[in-house]
Amino acid sequence: MHGMISLLKRLFRRGGDSHSTDDHNPIYTRQEHNISRADISESALKVLYRLKSAGFEGYLVGGSVRDLLLGREPKDFDVTTDATPEQVRKLFRNSRIIGRRFKIVHVRFGREIIEVATFRGSNDDARTSEEGMVLSDNVYGTLEEDAWRRDFTVNALYYNIRDFSVVDYTGGMADLNKGMLSLIGEPEQRFREDPVRMLRAVRFAAKLGFRIAPDVEQAIYRLGYLLQEVPAARLFDEMLKLFMSGHAVASFEGLRHYRLFEHMFPATEVCLAHEEAGFPRTFITRAMANTDKRLAEDKPVTPAFLLAALLWEPLRQLAEENIADGEPAYQAFHAAADVVLSQQVKHISIPRRFSVMMREMWIMQTRLPRRQGKRAFALLSHDRFRAAYDFLLLRAESGEVNAELGEWWTRFQQVDESEQRVMVRALESDGSGHSKKRRRRRSSPRNRRADG
Q: Which stretch binds ligand ATP (CB under 6 A): 6-14, 189-197, 273-281, 284-292?
A: 189-197
**C-alpha R_g of the chain:** 27
Size of the site for Mg ion (CB under 5 A): 1
63 forms part of the interface with ligand ATP (CB under 6 A): yes
Residues numbered 21 to 60 that lie near ligand ATP (CB under 6 A) are none
Strands 58-61 and 157-160 turn out to be: antiparallel
- In terms of DSSP bridges, do strands 112-118 and 78-81 run parallel, antiparallel, or are they unpaired? parallel
Only one of the segments 73-81, 161-169, 365-373, 415-423 lies at the binding site for ligand ATP (rule: CB under 6 A); that segment is: 73-81
Contact yes or no for 143/15 (Cβ under 8 A): no
CA distance 68 to 206: 18
CB of 155 to ligand ATP, least distance (A): 3
CA distances 335 to 262, 280, 321, 344, 348, Å, are: 23, 21, 11, 14, 20
For 40-58, b/e burial (b = at least 16 CB within 10 A) is: bbebbbebbebbeeeebbb
Active site residue 76: yes
Give the residue nearest to Mg ion (CB). 63
Q: Is 125 a catalytic residue?
A: no
Distance CA 187, CA 218 (A): 9
Q: How far apart are CA 205 and CA 211, in angstroms?
A: 6
Closest CA to 128 of 184, 199, 190: 190
Q: Could you tell me the smallest distance in angstroms from the CB atom of residue 157 to ligand ATP?
A: 9
The distance of closest approach from Cβ of residue 169 to ligand ATP in the complex, given in angstroms and rounded to an integer, is: 12
Q: How far apart are CA 103 and CA 85, in angstroms?
A: 7
Residues 308-337 that bind ligand ATP (CB under 6 A): none
The nearer residue to ligand ATP, 191 or 312, going by C-beta atoms, is 191
Is 78 assigned a catalytic role?
Answer: yes
Identified catalytic residue from 67, 78, 137, 292: 78
User: Which residue in 194, 217, 253, 269 binds ligand ATP (CB under 6 A)?
Assistant: 194
63 binds Mg ion (CB under 5 A): yes
Q: Which of Mg ion, ligand ATP, none sits in contact with 194, Cβ below 5 to 8 A by type?
A: ligand ATP
Q: Among 62, 85, 314, 369, which residue interacts with ligand ATP (rule: CB under 6 A)?
A: 62
* Cα separation, 451 vs 225, whole angstroms: 41
Interatomic CA distance for residues 368 and 434, integer angstroms: 10
Minimum distance from residue 147 beta carbon to ligand ATP (Å):
9
Q: Does 152 bind Mg ion (CB under 5 A)?
A: no
Q: Which of 79, 91, 107, 156 binds ligand ATP (CB under 6 A)?
A: 156
Rounded Cα–Cα distance for residues 374 and 380 (Å): 10
Counting DSSP H helices and E strands in the chain, the numbers are: 22, 12
Task: Single out the catalytic residue among 67, 82, 137, 151.
Answer: 151
Query: Cis omega before residue 195 (within 30°)?
Result: no
* Nearest distance from C-beta of residue 60 to ligand ATP, angstroms: 11
- In the list 81, 155, 344, 366, the residue contacting ligand ATP (rule: CB under 6 A) is 155
Closest CB to ligand ATP among residues 179, 373: 179
Complex with ligand ATP: residue 78 or 292, whichever CB lies closer: 78
Q: Which stretch binds Mg ion (CB under 5 A): 60-68, 200-208, 278-286, 420-428?
A: 60-68
C-alpha 372/C-alpha 352 separation (Å) is: 32
Which residues contribute to the site for ligand ATP (CB under 6 A)?
62-63, 75-76, 78, 150-151, 155-156, 194, 196-197
* Residues carrying an active site annotation: 76, 78, 151
